[in-house]
A and B are shown apart, each in its own frame.
Chain A
Amino acid sequence: MTPELAELRDSARQVLAAEGLAAPEDKTWPLARDLGWLLVAVPEAQGGLGQGLAGACAFHVEMGRSLCAAPYLPAMLAMEAVIHAGREDWIERLGSTALATASLADATDTPLTISDDKVVSGAVTAVPSADRAGHVLVCSAAGDAVALVPLAQPGVTLRFRESWDTTRRLFDLRFDGVALDPSWVLARGDEARVLGRRLATHRDFALAADAVGGAAAALEMTIEYLKTRRQFGRPLALFQALKHRCADLKARIAAAEALLADSIVRVGTRVHGAEAERLGKAVKHFATAAYAAVAEDMLQLHGGIGMTAEHACHLFLKRALLNEQLGRRSSYELDIADALLQAS
């Protein structure tokens, strides 16, 4: 991480810590937007901070740490799409005023189509904060078109889906023959296929980073609790059975952090392509599984208090469980195994 990025990261951490864990979206979204956090991955030539994937991931880690409710992750995916499509007009709009959101998962029952005469039909799922967004980034199920679709128009239906994770508000979106202005289309054909793969890899890295941040914060909280809570006349942190569990969790988190950092370096600027895809899948799988394991133990190690709604344990657990399910429709493990079996 460059010193410049570390500084940006530290200031974001401070700002988010001041807002508190899982602070309301109404407070954190304007902050993220007004402080220019959406510009972190935008190239300097286009008025951004030029920190690329490493920069985006550093911020996603902080969002994860603070259980941030702001729709930063989907907004960054939309930003990535307009950067890649070279749409400078959009970079400025999305970086400062408008929110464009995006789906965090492939899975849907009604595949999305964008016809040649630019009519959008079908559905997308797991779209955060769609009710406050002006546009949604969509990729057609066939991969042949990527577009920003305005949400406030006839034929677009939003359905709020209450998830167990209350730190994100997810919507299902339906499009019934929605006509699309040609200027909303960001890419078509092969270009769209490349962009779609690129966005899926970005999403994998972003979810992994969110998980890494959440897992680290969850373990820190747990250890603080174990140091304070006394039973049998001693702090729980003195029991070796609990120390060893914490050490195992720490090793797993450190491994996820190292894998994330290493994969970002390996990807470099080549976010398209099979190698970046493989790295993204590996780190997404490893980090979200680690987060879920840490959150699972966090609740157990907190005991009864962890089962109460007033304590933050359940917020970490629910976000971790959702992160594991977001992303690609196919099985990460099987995809990774397939790639290995084919390569050798």
Chain B
Amino acid sequence: MPRMSGDPETLRADVRAWLQRNVPADWRAAMTGCDQDAFVRAQRAWFDKLVQAGYATPHWPAGWPGGGRSLAEQKVIYEEIARADAPRLILFFVALYHAACTLIEWGSEAQKREHLPGILQGRVWCQGFSEPNAGSDLAAVRTRAELRGEHYVVNGQKIWSTLAQHADHCLLLVRTDTAGPPQAGLTYLLLDMRAKGVSVRPIAQITGDDEFSEIFLDEVKVPVANRVGAQGQGWAVAQSTLASERGLTLVELSHRMRYALSRITGLMRERGVEADAALRRDLGRLAPKVDATCALADQYLLKRIEGTEAPGDASIVKLHYARTLRDFTALGLRIAGLKGQYREPFIRGGGMETGNWPFDFMNSYNWTIAGGSDEIQRNIIAERMLGMPREPKDWRLSGERT
């Protein structure tokens, strides 16, 4: 389709008009209480529409369908998606950002040719980084990959892999060397989820959803051609995977949060508590916090555009968003009162403030734990931004023998 980098405000009008025509009017109702298969079907339909319009891949390089948009234009698209309250593309997030950006930056020509068109056709990717004993401490990954001829043979277990039960491929971080510093022994592989020895077990979550899965790897053969970067370069490749969405998600989510303030005021009216001074005061405290979150996310993206990002900037945005989301959902929970404690079906693919407040509150832990917990973000801010010293490596509990 024809498209050129141009005036973001012209793009805004186009995107807005397109969204008005194309966001399924009844998607919230359809996704409320539906099963995961119905959700997957709806995600695919929405994804296809976005791909055809060229709005799914604005961050891809020029030459790819929909690609070559400036970061400012990408921001416009996300802002408009938030404004239109369109479904979030959860199923394709890893494919569009993590997989695509990693391949574009590190992949061989053959890997790009093989996988990038597949992403546009709806191939689903998941991420295989975390393990039961490598969460915050990602470099502690233990899943072993042994080079045998033309294959790596992989054994181990991955966890917290979003929608891995629907994935065709996995971005897999494995250990190929145990000597030397932990980061140096990591290697990055592209795993076919249908390969022999791969099994996936969804994890029942506190929300009633089973969005996350465990992946078990038992003598899984991965061709050497599916390695991204060199052997031992996995840590560096993984860093670009993690940096791939470049703050856009938080622009979208913080703007969604600002629009969702009307859900709080609507709920206050519905519950007949709009005159409650304590709740009003809480709302009056929350709203500037939400505004500040949007301002932080916007400012961070601007820094990325200008190339002035400093260490810790991303952590500040994420930490502030996560804390504000917790406050936001907690206020919804309090306003909903006892009535909110009776279980209602939840919406799949909505924002973080769906109006099912207990669900939203529990789901907010996604942001305070996943993607580097609040505690990790605080370490990063303290150490890399404020210049406070790092934890000493040597430690011993008192009374413990060496």
Show the binding face of A for B, using Cβ within 8 Å. 223, 226-227, 235, 237-238, 240, 243-244, 246-248, 250-252, 254-256, 258-259, 261-263, 282-283, 285-286, 289, 331-338, 340-341, 344
Q: Is B356 an interface residue (CB 8 A)?
A: no
- Which residue from B266, B288, B320 sits with its C-beta under 8 Å from A344? B266
B-chain residues with CB within 8 Å of residue A289 when the two chains form the complex: 285
Do A258 and B284 touch (CB < 8 A)? no
Do B295 and A261 touch (CB < 8 A)? yes
Do B288 and A247 touch (CB < 8 A)? no
Given A259-B295, A261-B295, A262-B295, A247 and B378 contact (CB-CB distance below 8 Å): yes
Given A243-B383, A258-B295, A226 and B388 contact (CB-CB distance below 8 Å): yes
Q: Is B389 an interface residue (CB 8 A)?
A: yes
Do A255 and B265 touch (CB < 8 A)? no
Do B280 and A334 touch (CB < 8 A)? yes
Tell me the B379-402 residues at the A interface (CB within 8 Å): 379, 381-383, 385-389, 391-392
A253 to chain B, nearest CB (A): 9
B-chain residues with CB within 8 Å of residue A244 when the two chains form the complex: 375, 378-379, 382
Do A247 and B287 touch (CB < 8 A)? no
Do B288 and A282 touch (CB < 8 A)? yes
Residues of B within 8 A of A (CB-CB), count: 42
Q: List 10 A-B contacts (CB under 8 A).
A: A223-B388, A235-B389, A238-B388, A243-B383, A244-B379, A250-B316, A250-B386, A256-B292, A336-B283, A341-B283
A-chain residues with CB within 8 Å of residue B319 when the two chains form the complex: 247-248, 251
Do B386 and A333 touch (CB < 8 A)? no
A-chain residues with CB within 8 Å of residue B284 when the two chains form the complex: 285, 331-337, 340
Do B379 and A240 touch (CB < 8 A)? yes
Bitwise, B273-298 to A at CB < 8 A (1) or not (0) is 01001001101110111011111101
Quick one: which of A251, A283, A289, A341 has the most chain B CB within 10 A?
Answer: A251
Do B298 and A340 touch (CB < 8 A)? no
Decide if the interface of chain B is mainly helix, strand, loop or mixed: helix
Given A251-B319, A255-B292, A259-B292, A333 and B381 contact (CB-CB distance below 8 Å): no
7 new A-B contacts, CB < 8 A, other than A243-B382, A250-B386, A262-B295, are A238-B392, A248-B378, A255-B293, A255-B316, A282-B288, A285-B284, A341-B280
A-chain residues with CB within 8 Å of residue B285 when the two chains form the complex: 285, 289, 333
Q: Is B262 an interface residue (CB 8 A)?
A: yes
Show the binding face of B for A, using Cβ within 8 Å. 261-262, 265-266, 268-269, 274, 277, 280-281, 283-285, 287-289, 291-296, 298-299, 316, 319-320, 323, 375, 377-379, 381-383, 385-389, 391-392
B353 to chain A, nearest CB (A): 14
Do B283 and A340 touch (CB < 8 A)? yes
Do B296 and A254 touch (CB < 8 A)? yes
Quick one: which of A243, A252, A285, A331 has the most chain B CB within 10 A?
Answer: A243
CA of A313 to CA of B377, assembled, Å:
27
CA of A227 to CA of B389, assembled, Å:
8
> Who on chain A is nearest to B375 by CB?
A244
CA of A205 to CA of B291, assembled, Å:
15
> Who on chain A is nearest to B388 by CB?
A237
CA of A151 to CA of B385, assembled, Å:
49
Do A261 and B299 touch (CB < 8 A)? yes
Given A259-B292, A282-B288, A333-B281, A251 and B274 contact (CB-CB distance below 8 Å): no
A-chain residues with CB within 8 Å of residue B292 when the two chains form the complex: 255-256, 258-259, 286
